[in-house]
Amino acid sequence: MSTSNFFNYFFFFADARDAAMPPHHDLLPGLPAAMHRSYSLDVSAPLLRTQGYVDGRWISAASVFPVLDPATGQEIVRVSDCGPAEAKQAVDAAYKAFHSWKQYTAKERSVLLRKWFELLLLHKDELAQLITFECGKPMRESLGEISYSASFLEWFSEEARRVYGDIVPSPAKDRKLLLLKQPVGVASIITPWNFPSAMITRKVGAALAAGCTVVVKPAEDTPLSALALAELAEQAGIPAGVFNVVPCSRESTPSVGRVLCTDPLVAKISFTGSTATGKVLLKMAADTVKKVSMELGGHAPFIVFDSADLDKAVGGAMASKFRNSGQTCVCSNRFLVQSAVYDRFVEKLGGAMDAELRLGHGSEPDTTQGPLINARAAEKVLHQISDAVSRGAKVVKGGKRLDGSFMEPTLLADVTADMLCTKEETFGPLVPVIRFNTEEEALAVANATSVGLAGYFYSQDVRQIWRVAEALELGIVGVNEGLVSTPEATFGGVKESGLGREGSKYGIDEYLEVKYVCFGGLKP
């Protein structure tokens, strides 16, 4: 397969939804009767933007593409389908703006990022609605994402003033050695659909704080959150050209992506998405030796040892697995439970699923599980379930695909390491539980993968906690905790899960170069 075809096929691992979303005439069992009614997005005009945003102006393209509600398949709005010309225009605008933006003092950039943060919180309800309707998340999760999204702007508004260089002791008396940190330049920001607001601010907050300018290419499924961020950036006083957004359809994505990844004026690429796509972008970046950050696929283990507090382990499993209906890169994917507590854990987890999970449209207050992003995603989960059952797994809960792209939350017992669900990332509400006997066996299974983003384990043995935390081949480890993400800590993986780190004091370094200045000719 050629690079261009590979890029076209894998970019954002999304599929067109035509013929994928049947109308809601005959509801299948498991969905509430409320799904019979129609749902409408109630967001004020300034935040519901449908054009691209380039150089401080809202621009139209020659064509448009639909944004659909994944819960109903209904069209929400049509958005400008930007192409390579608009992408190039955005890169040029960002490059021009970079030369003035990098001259802003750290405090000036900090103040503007802080204003942007405050505007996100002020409009959190409307921003959360956008996420729920374009992404399918329950409103409570969407509100949580907006708080999480805003927190990166707050964090990097503070980090902007802490970009310190060094004065290095010189070996010679007639010179001073200085190490300066300077912004790399224009950054292409390519983000996924599952966190349509937070994945942008986690990257852009760091980039703008460092003095870089950006061109954002949001996922074709979820452009509305990115455009709302652009509106609020403008309201906050972010100068024209510093923050640009080029939404586009799946069909236009390869040509837009090539511009953002190959244009010589782009100095940096930051991408969150599949490992396959990340490899394609790395090849493209190589031709002009761009700086890259890659937050790629995961296959997180969730290990429960004999000494674990089972109630806490079940709570952690629920939080880690079913957030966004299992569609996060740090979702637990492989559940490994030690033999002595295996049956009790499966029983308790099944009870928690019955008690806590409610399927429905994200705007309904009782909903905890929305749809998957499209029918292809649901088909992938169903295929993994069928494969596991054919190899001897037992369906304890769920197991069925419902209307549209809804999937029953599913619990499988008697799972073995030869099943498909243990070999590839699911991105859906599937819990396959594997039995193990020894710590060494659990670690061998957990590490037997080419990726290493996040993982979790539950134990009350302090010596075991240190051993396992250090032995797991992962970038993120949760010990007796299922939700670990925070702007204060690093986010990123090892192996084929990516390059670089986001968040924390290290996140801003991804957008900086270190320049050595030797100031000589001084009198001793």
What single string gives the DSSP state of each residue in 298-311? --EEEEE-TTS-HH
pLDDT for residue 289 is more than 90: yes
Cα of 66 vs its chain's centroid, Å: 22
Q: How confident is the model at residue 31 (pLDDT cuts 50, 70, 90)?
A: low
For residue range 359-379, what is the model confidence (pLDDT) as tens digits?
999 999 999 999 999 999 999
Mean residue pLDDT of the chain comes to 93
Residues 271 and 241: beta-carbon distance below 8 Å: no
| Rounded CA separation 419/422 (Å) | 6
Segment holding 499, helix H or strand E: strand 498-499
Task: Determine the Cα angle at 266 with ends 261 and 267, to 5°.
Answer: 105
Domain coordinates in residue numbering, the chain: 52-296, 301-485
Dihedrals φ, ψ of 55, to 5°? 55, 40
Closest CA to 120 of 193, 198, 57: 198
301-485: in CATH 3.40.309.10:
yes
pLDDT at 35: 56
Contact 237, 113 (CB under 8 A): no
> CA-CA distance, 381 to 67, in Å (whole number)?
23
**C-beta separation of 446 from 436 below 8 A:** no
End-to-end CA distance of the chain: 64
Q: What is the pLDDT of residue 16?
A: 29
Taking residues 295-324, report their average pLDDT: 97
Handedness of CA 216, 221, 222, 224 (dihedral sign): positive
d(CA 299, CA 448): 10
The pLDDT-based confidence of 42 (bands split at 50, 70, 90) is confident
The tokens describing 387, both together, are 């494969």
The tokens of 127 are what? 């921003």
Q: How far is Cα of residue 74 from the mean position of the Cα atoms in its chain? A: 24
- Residue 455: other Cβ atoms inside 10 A: 29
74 pLDDT tier (thresholds 50, 70, 90): very high
Tell the residue number behind the tokens 């970046």, with chain if given: 285
Spatial contact of 353 and 433, defined as CB atoms under 8 Å apart: no
| Residues facing residue 295 across a β-bridge | 272, 498
DSSP assignment letter at 237: T
DSSP label of 491: B
Q: What pTM value is reported for the model?
A: 0.93
74 burial via Cβ count (<10 Å: 0-12, 13-18, 19+): middle
| Active-site hit among 134, 231, 295, 408 | 295
Q: Is the pLDDT of residue 6 over 80?
A: no
Q: Could you give the percent of the chain with pLDDT greater than 70?
A: 93
Give the per-residue pLDDT at 488.
98
Q: Would you say residue 179 has pLDDT above 80?
A: yes
Q: What is the pLDDT of residues 152-175, one digit of tens each?
A: 999 999 999 999 999 999 999 999
Q: Is the pLDDT of residue 22 over 70?
A: no
How many CB atoms sit inside 10 A of residue 417's CB? 13
421 tagged catalytic: no
List, for residues 114-126, the tens digit of each pLDDT value.
999 999 999 999 9
CA–CA distance, 205 with 510 (Å, rounded to integer)? 12
Report pLDDT for 20.
33
For the purposes of burial, counting CB atoms within 10 Å of the CB of 429, is it exposed (0-12), middle (13-18) or buried (19 or more)?
Answer: buried
pLDDT tens string 414-464: 999 999 999 999 999 999 999 999 999 999 999 999 999 999 999 999 999
Catalytic-role residue among 329, 421, 496, 502: 329
Long-range contacts of 160-163 (CB under 8 A, 24+ apart): 160/106, 160/107, 160/109, 160/110, 160/113, 160/209, 160/210, 160/508, 161/106, 161/107, 161/110, 162/505, 163/106, 163/209, 163/210, 163/508, 163/512
Question: What is the percentage of the chain residues whose pLDDT exceeds 90?
Answer: 91
Cβ–Cβ < 8 Å for 134, 47: no
Residue 14 has pLDDT above 50, yes or no: no
Tokens of 135: 């992404």
Residue 32 has pLDDT above 80, yes or no: no
pLDDT of residue 33: 53
Q: Which CATH architecture has domain 52-296?
A: 3-Layer(aba) Sandwich (3.40)
Q: What is the mean pLDDT of residues 27-54?
A: 76
Does pLDDT of 108 surpass 80? yes
Report the DSSP pairing between strands 176-183 and 512-519: antiparallel
Name the packing angle between helices 124-135 and 223-236 (round to 10°).
Answer: 160
Question: How many residues are given for the chain?
Answer: 524
Evaluate whether 516 touches 178 at the Cβ level (below 8 Å): yes
Instruction: Note whether 524 and 174 are within 8 A (CB).
Output: yes
Is 470 in the active site?
Answer: no
Asked if residue 429 lies in contact with residue 390, where contact means CB atoms within 8 angstroms, the answer is no
- Which residues are registered as beta bridge partners of 479? 457
Cβ atoms < 10 Å from Cβ of 487: 25
